[in-house]
Amino acid sequence: MSAAIVVFAALGASVVALIALLAPARPSLAVAVGRLDAARTSHTPATDPSVTAAFTAVTRAGRQARLGRLLLVRLGPLIRPGRSPHGPAGLRDADLAVTGRSRDLLLGRAVLTGLAAFCLLPSFALLLAPTGLVLPTPVLLIGAPAAAIGGFLLPGLDLRREADRRRREFRHALSCYLDLVAMCLAGGRGVPQALPEAAALSDGWAHRMLGDALASARLAGISPWRGLGRLGEQIDVPELRELAGSLTLVGDHGARVRDTLSARAATLRRRAITDAEGHAAQADQNMRIAQVLLAFGFLILIAYPALAAVLST
């Protein structure tokens, strides 16, 4: 009885915390001014549903980030995200950098999903109470914390999956970017001019990241190849680091740089094709496993009546 009281008291506290964190709050002055500016620049009414939904999402994300920032301040010595290659709940600096997320937002989402997952099993027990079915207390004591731990780890797994997808997109965009740089060099541009011009030809997130890295390298007074190498280390793309190392050795000779860029672009395309074939083979294998399980279940369905008749005699 006391264990059930503890579980449902924790459920009540979790529900109160979720309501306090997810309840719509009055927008701040900065959010209201930003909404008006966005409506004025895009010629969209400030009461447009799309604009309102976007700023609601931004407000919710800001609330989650504030929660994560508070936890980092309180539990900073215990969490220390980003210090190890695989931090708690998938908090890796490279994954955060390539997805454009912050530690505060990720930790806030982890806490929210953990609280929501903790509430699932006790809520299910409350729904079953009018029917006379009661979940055993050990199930509540073990299942609720286990669900909370799984919910806390879920945003980290989602971050890892999103980071892997973004890295594949970045490699594809990098091969296109290298071809564009080689074309600019063939057209008579110098290396300092060809690199930012090729990055400005597309408004994709990968090209913007490359352009920002080149601009930061120029402001820092270092070579553009070194700036690209730093970007490769920041987002954990080894191909970009290898490219920066090769081009540092080549120097600023246009013909050699062009040949190196073309060779690297071809290598990236071949690697992308190999990865695509590997993913296709894995999907085909998963489909075969599903077919085998379906056939096995069908055989059990057919054999069960005969087996039941034999066992009943």
**What would the pLDDT profile of 157-200 be if each residue is shown by its tens digit?**
888 899 989 998 999 999 899 888 888 888 878 878 888 888 88
Question: Token digits for 221?
Answer: 């007074």
CA distance 162 to 101: 11
In which region does residue 188 sit, left (phi positive, over 0), alpha (psi from -120 to 50) or beta (all else)? left
pLDDT tier for residue 47 given thresholds of 50, 70 and 90 = very low
**Between residues 34 and 225, the one the model is more confident about:** 225
Distance of CA 256 to the CA centre of its chain: 37
pLDDT score recorded for residue 170: 92
- H helix or E strand, kind and range, residue 53: helix 49-79
pTM for the full model?
Answer: 0.67
Distance of CA 90 to the CA centre of its chain: 10
Give the closest residue to 204 by CA, choosing from 229, 184, 224, 176: 176
Q: Given the structure tokens 């806390």, which residue do they identify?
A: 152
**What is 200-250 written as a DSSP string?**
TT--SHHHHHHHHHHHHHHHHT--HHHHHHHHHHHHT-HHHHHHHHHHHHH
pLDDT score recorded for residue 55: 41
Mean pLDDT of the chain: 75
**What would the pLDDT profile of 130-158 be if each residue is shown by its tens digit?**
777 777 878 878 888 888 888 888 888 88
**What would the pLDDT profile of 273-309 be if each residue is shown by its tens digit?**
888 888 888 888 889 998 999 999 988 888 888 888 8
| For the chain, domain boundaries | 2-163, 169-271
Answer yes or no: are the C-beta atoms of 275 and 168 closer than 8 Å: yes
**What would the pLDDT profile of 89-104 be if each residue is shown by its tens digit?**
334 788 888 888 877 7
CA distance 108 to 124: 25
**What would the pLDDT profile of 58-74 be if each residue is shown by its tens digit?**
444 555 555 555 555 55
CA distance 20 to 70: 15
**What is 66-113 written as a DSSP string?**
HHHHHHHHHHHHHH-TTSSSS-GGG--HHHHHHHT--HHHHHHHHHHH
Distance of CA 24 to the CA centre of its chain: 25
